[in-house]
Amino acid sequence: MKKKEPAPKEKGPPKFRPFEGQLKELAKKQKEEEQKKKAEEARKAAEAKAQKKKPPPPAPTPPIARQSTLTKQERDELAALDRSHDDEFFFRRLMSGVQPIGQDQRGRVGTAPKLPPREAKAAPAHDPDAEARDHLMNLVEGGARFEVTDDGQRLEGRRVDLADGTYRRLRRGEFPIDARLDLHGKTAGDARDALERFLKEKRARRDRVVLVIHGRGEHSPAGSGVLRGEIGAWLSQGRASQHVAAFATAHGDDGGEGALYVLLRP
């Protein structure tokens, strides 16, 4: 006798799940955000690792020290000139009352013309030694040992114990120009004072060669500059000369006959 098969269960109506789609979408977004977060963390870790391996930046290059263009022999000779300055001063002081005898000038370049001594400033009544001091200063200012030549176009001068090689380099314009002074439009007195201050300042700053522009005098009545006739004496005598080792007319690119290269003492 056959067993009766159970009757199939009747399917009821589908369950109502109103938030099922939203929950799936939310889970999908959450998964995507987690993946993005992991990718970002991996990227940052890779950058940090690369940064550790990156070599440190190179140290800044120190400024290049200014190289002297003078040879050792020339530096030694200029230093000797400076050391001899005090000896020269005291020698003139001791010999101030001695009259020089005639000297054989054959083969010597003409020496610079002497400037008239400055008038001594009026001394106060309570200072009886002022006149003697002014007299000594005039002797020192007028006694620099220079040889000067002037053919009407080129003006040149040097201390007698300056090395020939250094003097030639100055005349050829081989030294770099460290500073310039333009004396155009100044009276002779103002130009002389400006020149003295300029040379003193640049020598204290350890400059070697400066350019002094005195002008050609093309508009002057005599056709030659007033300063052109004075500047050679200023540079070879008086206060300015104590800072000067040599001077020479500049090349055309630097002013030609209207300017001078001036080599300063160390």
Domain architecture of the chain: domains with CATH = 130-266 (3.30.1370.110)
Q: What is the spatial distance between Cα 243 and Cα 79, in angstroms, rounded to a whole number? A: 13
pTM for the model stands at 0.48
Q: What is the pLDDT of residue 156?
A: 94
Residue numbers of the chain with a pLDDT score lower than 50 = 104-107, 109, 120, 123-124, 131-132, 134-136, 138-139, 141-142, 222-224
Cβ neighbourhood burial of 45 (10 Å; 0-12, 13-18, 19+): exposed
Picking from 235, 74, 255, the residue whose alpha carbon sits closest to that of residue 147 is: 235
- Residues 248 and 260: beta-carbon distance below 8 Å: yes
pLDDT of residue 97: 58
Q: What is the pLDDT of residue 76?
A: 76
Q: Which SS3 state, helix, strand or coil, does residue 9 take? A: coil
Q: Cα separation of 82 and 176, whole Å?
A: 21
List, in order, residues 6 or more apart from 27 with CB less than 8 Å away. none
Return the pLDDT at 176.
Answer: 95
DSSP 111: B
